[in-house]
Amino acid sequence: MLLCPALFAVNQLGARYVDYVPPYALALGRWLCALVLLLLFVGGRLWRQRAAVRREWRDLLVLGALGMWVCGAFVYIGGRTTTATNIGLIYAASPVVVVGVAALAYGERLWPRQLAGIALCLLGVLWVIIKGDPTRLLTVSFTAGDLWIAVASASWGLYSVLLRHRPSGLDPTTRLAAIMAGGVAVLLPTAAIEAAFVGAPPLDARSLATVLVLAVVPGVGAYGAYSYALAVLGAARTAIGMYLGPIYTGLMAWPLLGETPASYHIAGALLVLPGIFLATRLPPGR
CA angle 197, 202, 207 (to 5 degrees): 130
pLDDT of residue 214: 95
pLDDT of residue 65: 97
Could you tell me the pTM of the whole model? 0.82
Distances (CA, A) of 195 to 53, 76, 182: 30, 16, 20
Whether the pLDDT of residue 284 is over 70: the answer is: no
CA atoms lying within 13 Å on the CB side of residue 41: 14
- Tell me what the mean pLDDT of segment 200-214 comes to: 92
Q: At 129, which amino acid appears?
A: I
Whether the pLDDT of residue 66 is over 80: the answer is: yes
CB within 8 A of 198, min separation 6: which ones? 22
CB atoms near residue 200 (< 10 Å): 11
Q: At 61, which amino acid appears?
A: L
**Which position has the higher pLDDT, 279 or 225?**
225
Give CA–CA dist 64/229, Å, rounded.
19
pLDDT of residue 55: 96
CB atoms near residue 40 (< 10 Å): 8
Whether the pLDDT of residue 257 is over 70: the answer is: no
Contact 246, 131 (CB under 8 A): no
Whether the pLDDT of residue 281 is over 80: the answer is: no
- Tell me what the mean pLDDT of segment 8-26 comes to: 88
Q: What pLDDT band is residue 53 in, cutting at 50, 70 and 90?
A: very high
Give CA–CA dist 44/46, Å, rounded.
5
Q: What pLDDT band is residue 88 in, cutting at 50, 70 and 90?
A: low
Q: What pLDDT band is residue 77 in, cutting at 50, 70 and 90?
A: very high
- Tell me what the mean pLDDT of segment 177-181 comes to: 97
Percent above pLDDT 70 for the chain: 93
DSSP 200-229: PPP-SHHHHHHHHHHHIIIIIIHHHHHHHH
CB within 8 A of 34, min separation 6: which ones? 180, 215, 216, 219, 220, 223
pLDDT in tens, 232-242: 888 777 877 87
